[in-house]
Structure 1
Amino acid sequence: MKHARTGAAVLGAALSLSFLAGCGQAEGPAPAAPPAQTAPAHNDVDVMFAQGMMPHHEQAIEMSRMAAQNAGSQQVKDLAARIEAAQGPEIDKLNGWLRDWNAQQSGHGGHGGHGGHAMTGMMSTDEMASLGRTKGPEFDQKFLMLMIKHHEGAVEMARTEVEKGRFPDAQQMAREIMISQQSEIDSMRTMLTQH
C-alpha cells in the first residue's frame, strides 16, 4: 500500500509541475514541426543520365567479358576486369535511383535495347558481333579502339550530368566517371601503341 501512495504522490507532483509549466508560457502559435527529411531533388537530366548510363555500362561489361575470353594481352584482360568491377556497382546505384524516382528504366540489356547507336559511344550490334569473333592481338586492337569510343561517350554523358543535373549523388558519380574513364582512355591510347 505504501508503494501505491508513493506512486500516486509522484504522479500528482508531475502533473502539477506540467500544469504550472504550461501556465507560464505566453500564448502564441504552436511550434512548427521539424521539416520532414526528403530526398535531394532531381531533374530530367538526372533521370536521363541514369537511364542512359545503365545500358552504356552494361555494354562495357559485355565487352569486358569478351576480353576475358578473347584478349591476347594480359594488360587488356586486366583493364577489362577493372572496367567490369567499377561499372557493376554503378549500375546498381543507377537502378536504385530510378526506382526511388519512380522513373522507368530504359530498355537496357547490353547494346540490343538501343539498336547500338542511340547513345554516344554505344557499339552497334554488328560491331559487338565482330568484336566477339576476333581473338588475340586482333581482338586487343579492336577492343581498345571500341572501348576508347565507348568511354568518350560516357565522359560526354557524365559532363552533361555535371553541368545540368541536380541530384548530388548522380553529379558525384558523373564526376568520378569523367576522371576514371578519361584516365582509362589515356591508358588505352598508350596500349594501342604497344599492340
Structure 2
Amino acid sequence: MSSVRNLTRRNLTRRAALVAATLGAGVVLVACGGDGGDSSGSGHDAHASASASPSAGDEAGTTAGAHNAQDVSFAQGMIPHHQQALEMARLADGRAASGAVKDLAARIEKAQDPEIRTMTGWLKAWGEEVPEAGGGMDHSASGHSGMSGMPGMMGAEDMAGLEKSEGKAFDTKFLTLMVEHHEGAVEMATTEKSKGRYGPAKAMADDIVTAQNAEIKEMNKLLGKSG
C-alpha cells in the first residue's frame, strides 16, 4: 500500500514539474513575442512608411507642379521670341544662297517649334494667357514689332529687310540678325535658370543656352568672325 502511495506522489510531482515548465516556456515565448511586436521591423517600419510616404508624395508633387511668376514670364516671352525665329528660318529656303545657312535654318525650326508647343501646354495648364501666334509676316504695330523691346527681338524694319533680301545678301543679313536674336534668347533663358522654379522650364532654359550658344559660334564662323 505504501508503495502505491509513493508511486502516486511521484507521478503528481512529475506532472507539477511539467506544468510549471510548460507555463514558464509560455511566459518566455509571450515575452519574446511582445518585444518583437513592439520593436520589430514590421511594426516600426510600417509606422515609418506611413509617416514618410505622405511627405515624400507631397515633395514630389511640389517639385513636379510648382512654378512661379518667372516661369510664366519665361514661357510668355519665349513663345513669340521663338515664333519670330521660325519666321526668319522659313525665309531661308527660297532666299539663302548658302547650303550651310539653309541647314541651320532647318535645325532652328526643328528645335524651336516643339518648344513652342511645350510652353503653350504649360501656360494652359497653369491657367495663364498664351501669346497669339504671329500670323505670318505681320510687321504692323500689332505684330512682332510690338515685341521689339524683348532681348534680341527684331523690329518691323529688320524683318521686312530680311524678307526682301536674296542670295548672299540674305545669308549675311540672316546670320547677323539671328546671332542677335539668339543672344537675346540666351539672356532670357539664363534669367529663367537662375530665377525660375518649374523644373521642366529650367531644363528647357538650360537646353536653349547650350544649343543657341553653339549656334552663335557657328553663325559667327560663317560670317568670318572668330567669336
TM over 0.5: yes
Query: 1:168-183 maps to which residues of 2 (within 5 A)?
Result: 168-183=199-214
The letter of the residue matching 2:104 is L
**Distance in 2, Cα, partners of 1:114 & 1:100:** 28
Shift of 1:106: 2.8
2:73 to 17, 42, 48: 48
Residue 129 of structure 2 corresponds to which residue in structure 1? 104
**Distance in 2, Cα, partners of 1:143 & 1:190:** 14
The letter of the residue matching 2:151 is T
Shift of 1:68: 1.1
Shift of 1:40: 2.2
**Distance in 2, Cα, partners of 1:167 & 1:114:** 29
For structure 1, the 5+ residue unaligned runs are: 1-30
Shift of 1:126: 1.2
Shift of 1:118: 2.4
Runs of 4+ more than 3 Å apart: 31-39
Shift of 1:107: 4.6
The letter of the residue matching 1:138 is A
Residue 156 of structure 1 corresponds to which residue in structure 2? 187
Instruction: Mark the CA change 1:119 to 1:108 in structure 2 (over 3 Å): closer, same or farther.
Output: farther
State the Cα deviation string for residues 88-129 of structure 1 (Å, max 9, x = none): 100011000001111111355177145241211010111101
1:125 to 150, 156, 169: 156
Q: Is the 8 A contact 2:144 2:156 kept in 1?
A: no
State the Cα deviation string for residues 45-75 of structure 1 (Å, max 9, x = none): 0000000000000000000000111101010
TM-score by length of 2: 0.68
Q: Is the 8 A contact 1:108 1:114 kept in 2?
A: no
RMSD: 2.0
- Higher RCO structure, 1 or 2 (CA under 8 Å, sep 6+): 1
The letter of the residue matching 1:180 is A
The letter of the residue matching 2:176 is M
Residue 73 of structure 1 corresponds to which residue in structure 2? 98
Q: Is the 8 A contact 1:116 1:125 kept in 2?
A: no
State the Cα deviation string for residues 151-182 of structure 1 (Å, max 9, x = none): 00000000000000000000000000000000
The letter of the residue matching 2:189 is A
**1:85 paired to 2:110:** yes
Higher helix share: 2
Which structure's CA Rg is the greater one? 2
For structure 2, the 5+ residue unaligned runs are: 1-49
TM-score by length of 1: 0.79
Percent identity between matched residues is 51
**Distance in 2, Cα, partners of 1:113 & 1:191:** 27
2:173 to 142, 146, 149: 142
